[in-house]
Every structure is written in C-alpha cells, then in structure tokens.
C-alpha cells in the first residue's frame, strides 16, 4: 500500500494564475454569485422570523387559554364547585370529539411528537396538528385539566417553523433543523426563559450538542422571547424574597428536598408508565370517553376542596411560595397533582407536563421547607425558596434535564442567589431518579408508542471510549526524515512492521510504508527520506480524545500518532483502524462516527 499523495495545489498557485485586472464580466459574475440565494445565510435570517412568529403564536395561545378559563371557570382565583366539577368533564367530551374527527395527531404533550417529527419525518409537522394543538390544548387547560401550556407551545413553534420551511422550499437538511429551531422559540416564549429553552431543546429534542444548530436555535429563542415580552411584559414568573448567604447546614436541608423530589419523580413517572398503556389498549369508545372521565375525576378533586390542582396552577405555585399553605396541605396538593396530571395526560387530553411538574415540585418544596423550618427555625431560606428549588428538583428528576432544570429555576425567578441550593438539590433528584428508574419518563412514553428516539440522557449513560483505550505503545523505531534511505532501511530491518513513523522538521510526523522504502532501496536512492516524496504527513491524536474522532482519522491513514498534550513533540503511542475496531468489539458497542 502506498502512502497518500501529500502535494496539494495551494491557493498561491491559483492566485498566480489569476489575471491581475479582472474583466467586467468576471466582476459581474462574482457579484452575482455573492448576491445569489445563499441558503445558510438565509437560514439565520429565517430563524429570527421563526422566533417572531412562534412568539406571536404563543402570545395568542396564552391569551386564548385565559379567555377560555374566564368563560369556563369564571374570573375568581378558585372556581365555584359546580363549574370546577362540570367544566373539565364536558370540555373533555368536546376534546375527544375533535380528536377523533378532525385533529387526530394533536394528542399528547407535543414534546415527543416534535422529537419524533425531527427523527422520523425529517422535521415535518402538519399544520393541521399545530392548529389542533392550539385549539385542544387551549380548551383542555382553560377548562381546568391538569396540564400545562409549555410543551404545546414548543410543538406549535416547531410546527410553524416546519410549515414555513416547507413553503419556502428549503432543503431537506435545513427542514430537519427547522423543527428544533421553532421548538426552542415556542418554549422560550412560553417560559419567558430563552436559556432554558435552548438547553432543553438541545438536551431533550435534538438529543446531542451541535455547534451548527446552536446559533439558529439561540437566535429564534431570543427573538421569540423579545416578541412575547412586547405583548405580555418581562416580569419573571415568580417573585420570592432573595436568599442571603447559604450555609452548609442549609445545603443539607436542600439535599433532603432533592432526595424526596427524586423519589416523587419516580412515583410520578411510574404512575404514568403504568396507566398509559392500559388506556391505549382499551377499546375506542373507552378512549373516546377518557378525557371526559379524567375531567370528571379532576372535577371531583376540585369539588372536594382542592381546586388548586386544576389547570397549569402557576397562581397557586406563587401562593405556595408566599407561605400560604400549611405543610400538610402542600403535601396533599403535591400528591393530588400527581394523580390529576396522570389522569389528564394518560387520557390523551392535549397539554404539557412542564407546568404540572413544576407545580408538584413547588408544593413538595414548600412542604419540605415548612417542616424543616419547624424543626430547625434558624434556617435562612424562606418557604418560597424551597418551593422554587423544588420546582427545579422535579424538573431534573422527572424530565431528566439536569442542566436545563438549573437554568430554568434561575430564569423563572430572576434570582441567582439560590444557585447553590438548586445545584445540590437538582443533582440529588437527578441521581436518585436515574438510579431508581433507568428509562426517563419521556423516553418511556415514546417507547410505549413504539418509537426509539435518541436522547442526551442515553448518551450520558454510555461509557465514553477514548484513544487511550485503544492505542498501542510507542513504536520501537521512529525514523528521522533527515536520514538517508539506506540508513533507514538498515534500521527497519530490526522489525517486521509495515508502517513507520517518521519525525519531520517542525515537529510534524509522517508515515512511511516498508514497501515504499524497499522500492527506494531497489532504485538505489541515497537521498534523505525528506527528499524522496514518499512521506505522508499524518494528523495526530491525544490520549483523551473520543475514539470516534480517532476512527475518522484511522480510516484515512494506516497509522496515527498519539502525542502528549503537554509536549506535542513527544510520541506516546500509535493507533490504527484495527486497534479501534478491536476496542469497540471488546466493549460490545458499535462505533457511531
């Protein structure tokens, strides 16, 4: 095997051949080329417009939801018992009728559907689904079903982006990226939290970090939040008194919240995972009645004195943060919300899981905070702080988006003083949830639907193989490029290796094949190796680099040197394609490059 040709035409050659004074025609064609449609450039501009449209859609969605609530449940903070009893069940019937006749694809939260669209339908989401989600989620949440508006907003944003991309005839590659761009915009506007939206879309929708998409996602999220704030204001969702310095004892108290939050997340996920397949396996008429039955049961909970569990519940979260409830009531509300949300969600009523998750977390946090204050009155964190941290805890435990959960708490409260508490509690919840339930709730739902979509959570669980795991020790013979061919040939006689590393001036390393060296010997060439035109400069790797990176390099080169990061002239070892494949075989994992 001969080494690849190392001579490549450089820009200098082209520049030398180019005319010094370009003609009018050349100038015109260059200008035309500059001005011609550039999809990459246009895509960035489009991201801004997607953000604006998603922002406008979310504003309309939230306002329509409020109007619906006013008409169905009245203007009081807690609806009258009869309204609370009847509104969700009767609306449930209307929702079922619309799902079964017009909007078949509009069930669920919208999050998994968006992810499925990205990976299965090249990012295509039918406009009918978007309209259906808008109307049905509005009816469901406005009538008091225990669901939230965030996930539907995410799908509405993604759907609008998809519709726009389709009508603009963008390439399939760009169309696929448009859905997460719109999703981030929708979620950012719904939450008034651009950073969390970007992180969540990367963690949960796209499933992996990609620098290429980051700019467009950020642009769309920012423009949607700006648009939303123009109409709905920029106030943070929650206002709690700021916390002062958090002492280490206090962190122990927040850890307890993290542990309980992790356990609650698992209970919530198990409850959904148990009930959903049963409902999906039931006859059609039962499925038709499910939203109404869920509404009836929800109405019963409200009728019996806990109307707080209805709807998204943001106002009641605020009350919990302001110490309005006793710890017993907070605990009951957390438990009832798990039941209510499970009923609403598994019945197929369209609506999101974000707000209920935050509600459960806020109530649980409030309860834990109140009890801890009773036991240890010297704790400085208010009940509101615990409720806020609790929201993040459930978010980390149930949705398994630990990074997003941290930023989400900071963004919805606008309070950065609780960062330590959030970090500690969220990590406890995340680790416990991961330990007790290896498959995340959202993943479990997609698998119940027969879909297997990639997730960052899965990636996090995987052992990362590095170059160090596959590399061989430093070869005994490393040739110098200044050595003459006969001298080099004599040296290589000591081994049977097919390829040798050759150290070149300025620390670069080349590879030379034994066969090439033999040919030079046969031709009685006595020049130094450097002058023989047979050296192929190879890229190098470092021991900590991902094995997938090595795989790409080793496919093109017979041998790749592994150099020290501290001293790139120091060769630590070598790696070849066979070494990489052997390592993958031993680890029982296929390469994913």
Residues engaged in binding other proteins (CB under 8 A):
32, 35-38, 41-42, 45-46, 49, 52-53, 56, 59-60, 63, 66-67, 70, 75-78, 168-169, 227, 231-233, 235, 239-242, 315, 318-319, 321-324, 382-384
Q: CA 540 to CA 99: how far, in whole Å? A: 57
Q: Which is nearer to other proteins, 382 or 466 (CB)?
A: 382
Q: How far is CA 390 from CA 265, 321, 387, 401, 551, in A?
A: 11, 10, 5, 14, 43
- Closest contact distance (angstroms) between CB of 392 and other proteins is 19
- Closest contact distance (angstroms) between CB of 79 and other proteins is 11
- Closest contact distance (angstroms) between CB of 146 and other proteins is 18
Q: Which is nearer to other proteins, 323 or 548 (CB)?
A: 323
Backbone φ and ψ of 510, nearest 5°:
-125, 170
Give the helix ranges, DSSP H, for 201-353. Answer: 211-232, 248-280, 284-303, 314-321, 327-346
Q: CA 153 to CA 193: how far, in whole Å? A: 13
Q: Which is nearer to other proteins, 387 or 425 (CB)?
A: 387
Neighbours of 391 (CB within 10 A): 32
- Closest contact distance (angstroms) between CB of 372 and other proteins is 14
Among 544, 540, 490, which residue's Cα sits nearest to residue 517?
490
Residue 512, beta-bridge partner list? 500
Q: Which is nearer to other proteins, 60 or 275 (CB)?
A: 60
- Closest contact distance (angstroms) between CB of 138 and other proteins is 13
- Closest contact distance (angstroms) between CB of 46 and other proteins is 8
- Closest contact distance (angstroms) between CB of 128 and other proteins is 19
SS3 479: strand
| Residue 31: HSE in the Cβ half-sphere, 13 Å Cα cutoff | 7
Q: DSSP states of 116-139 as a string? A: HHHHHSTT---HHHHHHHHHHHHH
CA 315, 317, 318, 323 torsion-angle sign: positive
Q: CA 254 to CA 368: how far, in whole Å? A: 9
On whether the CB atoms of residues 230 and 359 are closer than 8 A, the answer is no
Residue 560, beta-bridge partner list? 575
In 381-535, the DSSP E strands lie at: 472-473, 478-480, 499-503, 509-513
On whether the CB atoms of residues 150 and 193 are closer than 8 A, the answer is no
- Closest contact distance (angstroms) between CB of 171 and other proteins is 11
Backbone φ and ψ of 536, nearest 5°:
-110, 115
- Closest contact distance (angstroms) between CB of 326 and other proteins is 11
Q: Which is nearer to other proteins, 171 or 462 (CB)?
A: 171
- Closest contact distance (angstroms) between CB of 257 and other proteins is 18
Backbone φ and ψ of 562, nearest 5°:
-110, 115
Q: Which is nearer to other proteins, 233 or 473 (CB)?
A: 233
Q: Which is nearer to other proteins, 6 or 45 (CB)?
A: 45
Q: Which is nearer to other proteins, 54 or 456 (CB)?
A: 54
Q: CA 91 to CA 97: how far, in whole Å? A: 10
Q: CA 46 to CA 201: how far, in whole Å? A: 18
- Closest contact distance (angstroms) between CB of 581 and other proteins is 43
Q: Which is nearer to other proteins, 232 or 275 (CB)?
A: 232
CA terminus-to-terminus distance, the chain: 25
- Closest contact distance (angstroms) between CB of 342 and other proteins is 26
Backbone φ and ψ of 544, nearest 5°:
-85, 0
CA 352, 354, 359, 360 torsion-angle sign: positive
Q: CA 514 to CA 38: how far, in whole Å? A: 48
Q: Which is nearer to other proteins, 199 or 367 (CB)?
A: 367
User: 93 is written with which tokens?
Assistant: 């019937």
Q: Which is nearer to other proteins, 59 or 471 (CB)?
A: 59
Q: DSSP states of 347-385 as a string? A: TT---BSHHHHHHHHHHHHHHHHHHHHHH-TT--S-HHH
User: 47 is written with which tokens?
Assistant: 């991201």
- Closest contact distance (angstroms) between CB of 187 and other proteins is 18
Q: Which is nearer to other proteins, 59 or 453 (CB)?
A: 59
149: which DSSP letter? S
- Closest contact distance (angstroms) between CB of 49 and other proteins is 5
């Amino acid at each position: 095997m001969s080494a690849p040709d190392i001579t490549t035409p450089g820009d200098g050659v082209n520049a030398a051949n180019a005319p010094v004074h370009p003609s009018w025609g050349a100038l015109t064609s260059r200008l035309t080329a500059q001005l011609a449609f550039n999809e990459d450039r246009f895509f960035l501009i489009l991201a801004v417009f997607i953000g604006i449209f998603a922002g406008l859609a979310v504003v309309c969605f939230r306002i329509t939801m409020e109007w619906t609530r006013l008409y169905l449940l009245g203007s009081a903070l807690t609806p009258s018992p009869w309204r609370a009893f009847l509104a969700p069940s009767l609306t449930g019937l209307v929702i079922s009728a619309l799902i079964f006749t017009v909007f078949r694809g509009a069930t669920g939260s919208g999050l998994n559907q968006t992810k499925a669209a990205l990976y299965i339908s090249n990012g295509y989401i039918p406009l009918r689904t978007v309209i259906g989600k808008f109307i049905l989620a509005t009816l469901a949440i406005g009538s008091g079903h225990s669901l939230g508006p965030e996930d539907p907003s995410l799908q509405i944003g993604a759907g609008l982006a998809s519709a726009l991309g389709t009508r603009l005839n963008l390439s399939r590659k760009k169309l696929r990226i448009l859905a997460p761009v719109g999703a981030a915009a929708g979620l950012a506007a719904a939450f008034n939290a651009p950073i969390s939206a970007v992180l969540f879309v990367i963690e949960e929708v796209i499933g992996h970090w990609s620098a290429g998409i980051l700019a467009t996602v950020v642009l769309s999220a920012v423009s949607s939040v700006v648009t939303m704030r123009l109409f709905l204001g920029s106030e943070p969702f929650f206002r709690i008194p700021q916390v002062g310095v958090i002492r280490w004892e206090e962190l122990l108290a927040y850890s307890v919240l993290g542990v309980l939050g992790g356990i609650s997340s698992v209970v919530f996920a198990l409850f959904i995972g148990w009930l959903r397949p049963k409902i999906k396996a039931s006859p059609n008429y039962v499925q038709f009645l499910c939203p109404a039955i869920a509404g009836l049961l929800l109405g019963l909970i409200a009728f019996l004195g806990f109307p707080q569990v209805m709807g998204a519940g943001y106002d009641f979260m605020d009350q919990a943060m302001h110490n309005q409830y006793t710890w017993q009531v907070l605990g009951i509300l957390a438990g009832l919300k798990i039941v209510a949300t499970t009923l609403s969600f598994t019945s197929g009523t369209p609506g999101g899981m974000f707000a209920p998750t935050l509600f459960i977390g806020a109530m649980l946090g409030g309860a834990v905070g109140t009890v801890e204050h009773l036991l240890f009155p010297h704790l400085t964190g208010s009940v509101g702080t615990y409720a806020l941290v609790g929201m993040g805890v459930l978010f980390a435990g149930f949705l398994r988006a630990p990074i997003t959960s941290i930023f989400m708490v900071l963004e919805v409260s606008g309070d950065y003083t609780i960062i330590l508490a959030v970090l500690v509690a969220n990590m406890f919840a995340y680790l416990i949830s991961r330990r007790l339930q290896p498959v995340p709730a959202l993943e479990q739902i997609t698998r119940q639907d027969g879909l297997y979509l990639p997730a960052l959570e899965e990636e996090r669980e995987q052992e990362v193989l590095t170059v160090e795991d596959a590399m061989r020790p430093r070869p005994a013979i490393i040739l110098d490029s200044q050595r003459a061919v006969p001298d080099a040939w004599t040296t290589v006689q000591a081994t049977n290796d097919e390829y040798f590393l050759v150290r070149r001036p300025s620390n670069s390393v080349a590879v030379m094949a034994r066969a090439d060296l033999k040919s030079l010997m046969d031709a009685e060439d006595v020049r130094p190796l450097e002058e023989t035109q047979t050296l192929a400069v190879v890229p190098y790797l470092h021991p900590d680099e991902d094995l997938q990176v090595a795989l790409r390099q080793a496919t093109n080169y017979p041998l790749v040197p592994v150099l020290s990061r501290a001293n790139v002239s120091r060769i630590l070892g070598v790696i070849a394609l066979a070494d990489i494949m052997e390592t993958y075989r031993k680890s029982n994992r296929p390469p994913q490059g």
